[in-house]
Structure 1
Amino acid sequence: MPGHTENHVIVNAPMDLVWARTNDVADWPNLFTEYAKAEVLQDAGDRVRFRLTMVPDEQGRVWSWVSERELDPATRTVVARRIETGPFEYMRIRWTYHEVEGGVLMRWTQDFAMKPDAPIDDEGMTERINANTPVQMNAVKRVLEAEAAAMPPLQGPLAPGRETL
């Protein structure tokens, strides 16, 4: 049975910051702890093709693959898929962003199936993704919240406490 995961985190930061930084694929090694390198292969504005290279695993193996992301800024959604699937028959990821009290609710939904000869089955990969995704989401959250805290406060007539002229 194919795998399906859904994980989310609330990032206490402005939507524009969360959207821009999490969609800057070339800078992902500074957001995620699992990526050693992110190389943009093709950037067509709202469609980006890139190669990700992981940090070495426990056995010293380095995993790398090509993926593609399609951004929809109007709905604040991203759909991604692996082009080089490796051990996956397919891997599709949907990122959604919603403004909520306390910041931005960022949700990642992953649908996938492992190849029959993969070293792990669908259930095992589901467990692995559900263990690692919260770690990565919290790494992103820490970076973005620190950046938001360092931003200068709003000034002018729409700043908090200055709703009237």
Structure 2
Amino acid sequence: MAPNATPDTSAPHVTEHAITVAAPPAVVYDLVADVSAWPQVFGPTVHVEVLEEDADISSAGGEQLLRIWAMANEQVRTWTSRRVLDPRSRTVTFRQVVSAAPVAQMGGQWRVEENDDGRTRVVLLHDYRAVDDDPEAERLIEQAVDRNSRAELTALKNAAELSESREEVHFTFSDSETIAGAAGDVYAFLDRADLWPERLPHVARLDLTEDEEGIQHMDMDTRSPDGSTHNTTSVRVCFEDRQTIVYKQLRVPVAMSVHTGRWVIEPQGDGTVRATSWHTVVLDPEGVSTALGPKATLAEARDLVRKALGTNSSTTLRHAKKYAEGLHAGS
């Protein structure tokens, strides 16, 4: 550089993170490509929505437009990204279309490469700039990118190496109630989780804070039938216009590695609404042994988790039904 030259402060920062995975490249690539499963694979990812995509993207590749909600420096950030998937080269290139401050621009690429020893090397590249090239903002972005990249690569490795037992540890179920009341009243009951200790018998304590309207953090103590309590922390993204709330537990009981879910309220066309609680769970085999004993099977753990979560969500739905139908009767 010439002595009087001015440094190019607009040049993006570039980072590279990598990990080796004991699984075939096709398995690893599919986990990166399938964004619908990201909340169950990647710890920081709370929720992903596909806004647009090419029709045959799963087989031929192409472009996607996504909206992503994820944890960064203990807050939920949301942004819109465009991805280009190339199954032949096993790359996924991404670029944020609408970023969240303090990020001015961010992009990068996933590269899934086959090693000579049959294992897979995954490289995750990022390039980014902060708003106004602010040094403090750049430091915070660097911390978030480093923390999330390491967490995502470790999670990807774990998910890929457990892919053969996925059907045993991964399951989804739901519980529903038909309610003769207004969808808005049912939604309000579910949205106002800060009132759940007064309204629900299984909620002993709940602290609720909001980063911004519609993004909630919950710290909750839940009573078990035997009188014991267990603590969970969750983040929720609330879509009042769609009468839907999605959530992810950040601290889960020991038998689970992941728990995500959503509340969905759907008008039925006959004056009633159907409220459904969905749960998706990934069991932790080591945690199952710790919690239930070394002889416990994954099937037994699935049944116990299904019963515990289903009992609590069904109780919540019954109380939401009573609340909404009571308001409807009084109107």
Bin the TM-score by the shorter chain: 0.7 to 0.9
1:18-33 matches, within 5 Å, as 18-33=28-43
> What residue in structure 1 maps to residue 160 of structure 2?
144
* Whole-angstrom CA distance in 2 between matches of 1:4 and 1:57: 19
Letter of the 1:142 counterpart: N
Contact 2:24/2:118 (CA < 8 Å) preserved in 1?
no
Of residues 15, 27, 31, the one that matches 1:5 is 15
TM-score when normalising by structure 2: 0.42
Q: Is the 8 A contact 2:25 2:120 kept in 1?
A: yes
Deviation at 1:3, TM superposition (A): 1.6
Please state how far the C-alpha of 1:149 moved relative to its aligned partner: 5.9
In the TM superposition, what whole-angstrom CA distance separates every residue of 1:37-69 from its partner, at most 9, and x where no partner exists?
1111112122111111125864xx432111111
Unaligned runs of 5+ in 2: 1-8, 168-331
**Structure with greater proportional helix content:** 2
Cα 1:117–1:123 shift into 2, 3 Å: closer
Aligned position for 2:64: 48
Contact 1:81 1:93 in 2 (8 A): yes
| Alignment partners' CA distance in 1, 2:152 and 2:89 | 23
TM-score under structure 1 length normalisation? 0.80
Maintained 8 Å contact 1:10/1:102 = no
Q: Using the aligned pairs only, state the percent identity.
A: 26
Q: Structure 2: which amino acid aligns with 1:42?
A: E
Q: Is the 8 A contact 1:11 1:102 kept in 2?
A: no
Are the aligned partners of 1:66 and 1:84 in contact in 2 as well (CA < 8 Å)?
A: yes
Inter-partner Cα distance in structure 1 for 2:162 and 2:34:
17
Distance 1:121 1:150 in 2: 39
Corresponding residue for residue 64 of structure 1: 78
Match of 1:158 in 2: none
Name the SS of the counterpart of 2:132 in structure 1: coil
CA contact (8 A) 1:13 1:148 kept: no
What SS does the aligned partner of 1:83 have? strand
Q: Is the 8 A contact 1:54 1:63 kept in 2?
A: yes
What is the Cα deviation at residue 34 of structure 1?
A: 0.7
Does residue 15 in structure 1 map to residue 30 in structure 2? no
Deviates more, 1:93-102 or 1:122-131: 122-131
Give the distance between the partners of 1:131 and 1:55, measured in 2 at CA.
10
Structure 2 distance, partners of 1:51, 1:108, is 19
Given residue 26 of structure 2, which amino acid in structure 1 is its aligned partner?
Answer: D
Q: Is the 8 A contact 2:21 2:161 kept in 1?
A: yes
Map of 1:121 onto structure 2:
137
Give the distance between the partners of 1:105 and 1:147, measured in 2 at CA: 17
In structure 1, what is the Cα distance between the partners aligned to 2:42 and 2:149? 10
Query: Higher RCO, 1 or 2 (CA under 8 Å, sep at least 6)?
Result: 1
- More moved, 3-12 vs 85-94: 85-94
CA distance in 1, matches of 2:146, 2:76: 21
Whichever residue aligns with residue 91 of structure 1, its letter is M
- CA spacing shift, 1:140–1:48, aligned 2, 3 Å: same
Bigger-Rg structure (1/2): 2
Matches within 5 A, 1:66-145: 66-87=80-101, 88-100=103-115, 101-116=117-132, 120-145=136-161
How far did 1:121 drift?
2.5
**Deviation at residue 150 of structure 1 after TM alignment:** 6.2
In the TM superposition, residue 119 of structure 1 has moved relative to its aligned partner by 9.3
Aligned to 1:34: 44
